Structure 1
Amino acid sequence: MTERAGVLDSFLRPKLALRLGFALSLAILPLGLISVFQTYELLEERQVLSETALLAQTQQVFSESRDMIQAALGVGRTLSDIINDDAVSYDNCGALMRGLVEREPAYVFAGFVDPALNVTCASDGVPPAERSVTSLGTELASREIEVVMHSLEFAAGIATVSVLVPVFDGDDYRGVIWIAIHMNLLIEKLAEAAPDVNLVLFEADGGIIATAHYTDMRRAVLPENERLDLLAARGRHTFRDTNRFGITRDFAVVPLVPGKVFALGSWEPRQSGLVRLRHEQMFALYFPLLIWAITIAVAYIWVHYLVIRHVRRLRSWMRLYAAGRGDLEGAQLDNAPDELEVVAESFRAMTRRLSEQEREREADLREKTVLLREVHHRVKNNLQLISSMLNMQIRATKSAEAKHLLRRVQDRVMALSAIHRYLYMARNLSLVRADTLLDGIIQQLVMVGTLDETGRKIEVTTEFDAVEISPDQSVPLSLLATEAAINAVKHCGMTTGIDAWINIALKDLGDGNYGLSVVNSYVALTQQDMAAHGPDYGSGLGAKLIESFVAQLNGTLEINQHADRYELHVVFPVNWHSAPDAA
């Protein structure tokens, strides 16, 4: 788990190149921000100038139309002052209106409408009784200056742009001066002003007054996503949108009569206009990013050439050395800086020292291993010599009881000899294969199926798992198995003539524990058997030795005696620690 966490942490930790890139980014960040800020300031200024130029062009195109409407408003204000003179009669008023229309060809009609919406005097001399006006009732009753598109019912429905100027005598409302401009003349002025521009005159509420081409498709030149009343509410401004034909256009809105009449110009997009400004804005944003990317790339190439590639080569040397490759004396860096050459030389010196120390350690280990094997060999020879001396004593002894006791001592000595023989022949002296060791001891005790000097055959079966123990555990375990086997011989029914058997097993129980089991057939000894073996037979020495060996293994002992079998079970830990009282 710790190793996996270390690998994950190494994967998530930023690499040297990323750290350098982050550091360089922070270094050039102020310059980039200053560049972006200054460029945007310049672009905003240029955009304001471009919008101003577009608005000025739009206002210039509408100049004649604006002058015509402004002139009509001026005339209306002048007439309102004249009408307020009580000396003006109906005949004088009519003559005044007729003279105005005759002097100005753009005017179709001029008249005065009283608060009751009756034309009291007019340019064509029509009697007032026939001039009741209802179609402009809302505009005439608003008591404000109005400019609207209107068809004159009494003049064969001529389309006009009607300019309405209220007349006040102090706070007393007297009526409205009505001047009608011929619509065709206004349309001609718009059409002649700029053939490649779509022009629209509209009211503050969004009603269209006039267009350059006053046809059924006149609304198709309007912006698709904007309303005229909302454009009028924003005042003087420019924007980009598609018209209702789906063509992208630059639009400019200019007030001609503040709050009343507005002009909308629709222009072909120009590279020097809004489009170019947007491109330059994008360039102002991405140019510092481009400079940053180039700076990071150049810095990375140089850092990689001067540092990273040498660091990676040093890392590969370390990995090779960790994998067991010690021949790094000839490893060299390629044109590395002096600082990294010092690091490489230090690493090579370290590998030389470690390799020399490793060779010395291996030589010492081989020497100690040879000495330790020699010790085990000599101990084994000495134990075999003692076993031979005991064997000679057994042959010379006449007493059956003495022979029996000497035989048991000889078995214990041979068990110790088997341990040292195994250690002498083993390749690894730090761990002992317990199954191989016990199998050799049991085979020696069985002596080709015979466990007693009388030559009786006892069926012996073994079942050993391939487990490893320390050399310190091997001595008490071997002696424990020997004593348990000797104890099994006593109770397996050697004098009754039944089939005697012994089963010896060594198992890996899991959870860090091993288990040794010795199970044998069982027949209780008679008084004659006890007397035949002497008064010291069954004195309990073997049981005491077994308990002592179990304590040395820091294990637990369990003995179960049944009518037909005798069971001995020992459980001891793999990680062995001497019992406190084992000494």
Structure 2
Amino acid sequence: MALLPIGAIAVFQAVQIGAEEQRRLEAALLTSTAEASAGEALAIASASGAVSTLAAHMAADGRTGDSCSDMFETLVQYTRQFSFAGYTDLDGILQCGSEGVGRDMRDGIVFPIMDEQRRPLVLASGYGSISGTSVIVSAAPVYRGTEYLGFVTVSVPHSRIFGIPGSAGTDGALNIVTFNADGAVLSADRAFDRLDNTLPVGRALTSLVSPRQYAFSGHSVDGEDRMFAVVPIIPGVIYALGSWPRETFVWSRLSPVLFPVLMLCVGLIVAFGAVNALVIRHIRRLKNNLKVFSGSRRIVPLSNGRGMAQELAEIDEAWTDLASQLVHDEAELENMVHEKNVLLKEVHHRVKNNLQLIASIVNLKIRRAHSPEARRTLKEVQGRVMSIASVHRALYSSTNNAQVRADELLRSVIDSTIMAGTTEDWSVNITQTYAPVLLYPDQAVPLLLLASEAVTNALKYIGRLDDGRAELDIALTSLTEDEAMLRVNNTRGTPFIPPDQVVGSGLGRSLIAGFATQIGGTVETLVDDNYYDFRLTFEAEAFDPSERETIVEDVDLDLDREGDSD
């Protein structure tokens, strides 16, 4: 950034130098064009002066004949650049001249123009009528007062013009073309049919006419990039157009800008290299080390401190200490989590053992009970205790201490319930379908107990249909991502257990209602002549001890108020 303004100033100065060089080259081209056309300008100016003098003499004397012709012959004899001089009347007859007196000039190039315009003019002819060679013709009208009498002409052969382009002392790359105010080419340093790389494209010669000399850049007719200069030889009458190739100046224009730009680029490269060596490469390595630490917790310091700024070394030391402390804290946290998991599994294991101990005690009571009703009641209590023990066994056996799979627990508990509630002579088609639903313990326990009660009730009242079929369908399905449904469907008809042996106390219904409330679900029963369909719809929710404790407490109160029908 510090080098940028310096480089910009240098480039600006270089551009200014290039512009000055351009102006110098344009001035050089103008000078060369003026010098190259000096001989032709002198010859044309001399011819123009001569015709003006001769026109004035003819207007004053008005005589024709031998004395008049002697004047023109003397002029041509003593002016080596002139090849012809003569006077033509308004009818187009050469009245007197250096030669060809009496000749009809109406077929020449001068008479039609002069007869129409009647003003001084300069023309070029590839074949002069009198001289029979390429000439430049200068003509002036002859007036006596306001009466037009004719015109005087002087011819200058191109071969006699001294100093035209291509002669000694002229730049070989310079091309010269002379033209008049009407845009007609008078002379050129090359053949007239080879002017494509001399004339500018898209600009007529008449548009170049100007009372002052000037230069411009453009392309020639054949597409070459050239520089052009226009120099008036006789303002308003004759002009010279010089040009030379522009490619010869490319390096001289480019070199003043190239070196400042190179200096700026080299300065920027050096600055970037220094910043990269001192700062950027260390920051890049620090970024890579942070990525390595993020992926593998491996601490890689930047370097031993050599060749690195003190500030970067302090940053490296600070992040290394921070990373080390983070790794130490993570290790302690992981150790604490592991210890808590072990203790939690141990708690679940102890709870499961205590519940199994209670179940064993209940089993002893069952053996010593005398009445069937007492044994049946104790067996139901034993089943409920074992259902709770199954949940704790699943919790300490799984890797996830927070949630359990309801399908695995239901299959275990329902199998035990079915085995305890059926006999070998029962021909019941039992189907079980469980979706892998994850639940927290505060929902899993009441769901198992509710399912056990629902299946127990179904086994009490299941019967055969008229066609002899007896079916029990138990299913746990996922309705949505968070919602599930437990369904227990059994057939009715002729019961397996006689109605007089089924004593309803209302406890099962109370427990089902309480467990449904604790789960946060809704119970729906569909009953017809053939089927009894029990459905529980609930959502898997996060564990909330305070809410669940309140709900359980409310369920306990509700159980005391339940009716006495199962």
Give yes or no for TM over 0.5: yes
SS at match of 2:161: helix
Please point out which of 347, 365, 371 is paired with 1:375: 347
In structure 2, relative to structure 1, the CA distance for the partners of 1:158 and 1:417 (3 Å cut) is: closer
Superposed CA offset, 1:118-155 (max 9, x none): 5554344835x956576424431323331102378762
Structure 1 counterpart SS, 2:402: coil
In structure 2, what is the equivalent of residue 18 of structure 1?
Answer: none
Shift in Å, 1:466: 2.9
* Aligned positions of 1:152-167 closer than 5 A: 155=130, 157-167=132-142
Provide the rounded CA distance (Å) in 2 between the counterparts of 1:265 and 1:438.
109
Give the corresponding residue for 1:261: 238
Do the aligned partners of 2:525 and 2:535 also contact (CA within 8 Å) in 1? yes
d(CA) in 2 for partners of 1:170, 1:406: 158
CA deviations 1:85-112 (Å, max 9, x no partner) are: 3x55335654433332232132233234
> Are the equivalent residues in 2 in contact too, given 1:492–1:521 (CA < 8 A)?
yes
Determine if contact 2:299/2:324 at 8 Å carries over to the other structure. Answer: no
- Name the structure 1 match of 2:502: 533
Deviations 1:485-512 (A, max 9, x none): 2122122229999564433222333333
Q: 1:53 to 1:350 in 2, by over 3 A?
A: same
1:42 to 2, 17, 22: 17
Q: Distance in 1 between matches of 2:506 and 2:101?
A: 156
Shifted more, 55-64 versus 180-189: the winner is 180-189
Question: Distance between the aligned counterparts of 2:29 and 2:441, measured in 1?
Answer: 101
Cα distance in 2 between the residues matched to 1:154 and 1:324: 105
Match of 2:187 among 198, 210, 216: 210
Superposition TM-score, scaled by structure 1 size: 0.80
2:312 to 335, 340, 347: 340
Do 1:493 and 1:522's aligned partners in 2 also have CA atoms closer than 8 Å? yes
The residue that corresponds to 2:113 in the other structure is 139
1:412 aligned counterpart, secondary structure: helix
* TM-score normalised by length of structure 2: 0.82
Map Cα deviations across residues 294-323 of structure 1 (whole Å, 9 max, x no partner). Answer: 333322322222222222222223222222
Structure 1 residue 415: Cα displacement: 0.8
For residues 119 and 358 of structure 1, what CA distance do their matches in structure 2 show? 123
Change (3 A) 1:467 1:336: farther
* Correspondence list, 1:304-323, <5 A: 304-323=276-295
* Alignment size in residue pairs: 543
Whole-Å Cα distance in 2 between the matches of residues 210 and 77 of structure 1? 22
Q: How does 1:122-521 map to 2 (within 5 A)?
A: 122-124=97-99, 126=101, 135-140=109-114, 141-150=116-125, 155=130, 157-167=132-142, 175-186=150-161, 191-193=166-168, 194=170, 196=172, 198-212=175-189, 217-219=193-195, 222-223=198-199, 225=201, 229=205, 232-233=208-209, 236-237=214-215, 239=217, 241=219, 252-265=229-242, 267=244, 269=245, 274-326=246-298, 335-447=307-419, 450-452=420-422, 456=426, 458-493=428-463, 500-521=470-491
Would you say the 8 A contact 1:419–1:437 is kept in 2? yes
Structure 1 unaligned regions, length at least 5: 1-23
Aligned partners of 2:464 and 2:491 also within 8 Å: no
d(CA) in 2 for partners of 1:230 and 1:366?
A: 102
Change in Cα spacing, 1:253 to 1:386, as seen in structure 2 (3 Å) is: same
Structure 1: distance between partners of 2:465 and 2:363: 24
**Equivalence for 2:43:** 68
| Structure-2 separation of matches of 1:574 and 1:324 | 36
Distance 1:280 1:330 in 2: 52
Alignment deviations for residues 264-289 of structure 1 (CA, whole Å, 9 cap, x no partner): 4455x5xxxx4353234444555444
Question: Whole-Å Cα distance in 1 between the matches of residues 197 and 467 of structure 2?
Answer: 126
CA contact (8 A) 1:553 1:576 kept: no
**Structure 2 partner of 1:567:** 533
Would the alpha carbon gap of residues 353 and 523 (structure 1) be closer, same or farther in structure 2, given more than 3 Å must change?
farther
Write the distance in 2 (CA, Å) between the matches of 1:331 and 1:400. 85
Equivalent position of 2:551 in the other structure: 582
Of residues 68, 74, 77 in structure 2, which corresponds to 1:99? 74
Q: Provide the C-alpha distance between the structure 1 equivalents of 2:51 and 2:301, rounded to a whole number of angstroms.
A: 108
Specify the SS of the correspondent of 1:582: helix
Q: Is the 8 A contact 1:65 1:190 kept in 2?
A: no
Aligned-pair distance for 1:424?
2.6
Q: Which moved more, 1:561-570 or 1:418-427?
A: 561-570
Q: Equivalents in 1 of 2:309, 2:324: separation in Å? A: 23
Amino acid at match of 2:519: L
**Amino acid in the other structure paired with 1:405:** T
Which amino acid counterpart does residue 551 of structure 1 have in structure 2?
T
Q: CA deviation at 1:344?
A: 1.5
Question: What is the CA-CA distance between 1:457 and the residue it aligns to?
Answer: 6.7
SS of 2:122's partner is strand
**Distance in 2 between the 1:165 and 1:35 partners?**
58
2:43 and 2:476 map into 1 onto residues whose CA distance is: 121
% of aligned pairs identical?
31
Residue 417 of structure 1 and its aligned partner are, at CA, apart by: 1.3
Structure 2 Cα separation of the partners of residues 67 and 329 of structure 1: 90
Query: In 2, Cα distance between the equivalents of 1:437 and 1:35?
Result: 86
CA–CA distance in structure 2, aligned partners of residues 504 and 284 of structure 1: 95
1-structure distance, mates of 2:356, 2:303: 57
Deviation by residue 1:325-349 (Cα, 9 ceiling, x = unmatched)? 2555898666421111211121122
- In structure 2, how many angstroms separate the alpha carbons of the residues matched to 1:572 and 1:332? 63
Please give the alpha-carbon distance, in whole angstroms, between the structure 2 residues aligned to 1:545 and 1:497.
Answer: 34
Cα distance between partner residues in 2 of 1:454 and 1:221: 119
Cα 1:394/1:84, change in 2 over 3 Å: same
1:241/1:248 contact within 8 Å kept: yes
Change beyond 3 A, Cα 1:455–1:152: closer
Query: Do 1:203 and 1:261's aligned partners in 2 also have CA atoms closer than 8 Å?
Result: yes
Residue 510 of structure 1 aligns to a residue whose secondary structure is: coil
Post-superposition offset of 1:60: 1.5
Tell me if 1:57 matches 2:32.
yes
What SS does structure 2 have at the residue aligned with 1:90?
coil
Corresponding residue for residue 512 of structure 2:
546
Q: For the Cα contact (< 8 Å) 2:76–2:82, is it kept in 1?
A: yes
Superposed CA deviations along residues 210-229 of structure 1, whole A, max 9, x for unmatched, are: 33455x75546644846652
SS at match of 1:511: coil
Q: Given the superposition, is the C-alpha separation of residues 475 and 39 from structure 1 closer, same or farther in structure 2, using an over 3 Å criterion?
A: same
The CA distance in 1 between the partners of 2:260 and 2:358, in whole Å, is: 95
RMSD: 3.7
- Uncovered stretches (5+) of structure 2, i.e. residues with no partner: 553-566
Tell me whether 336-345 or 246-255 shows the greater mean CA deviation: 246-255
CA shift in 2, pair 1:455/1:420, >3 Å: farther
Instruction: Compute the displacement of 1:429 (Å).
Output: 0.6
- Preserved CA contact (<8 Å) 1:109 1:124: yes
Distance change in 2, residues 1:59/1:132 (3 Å): same
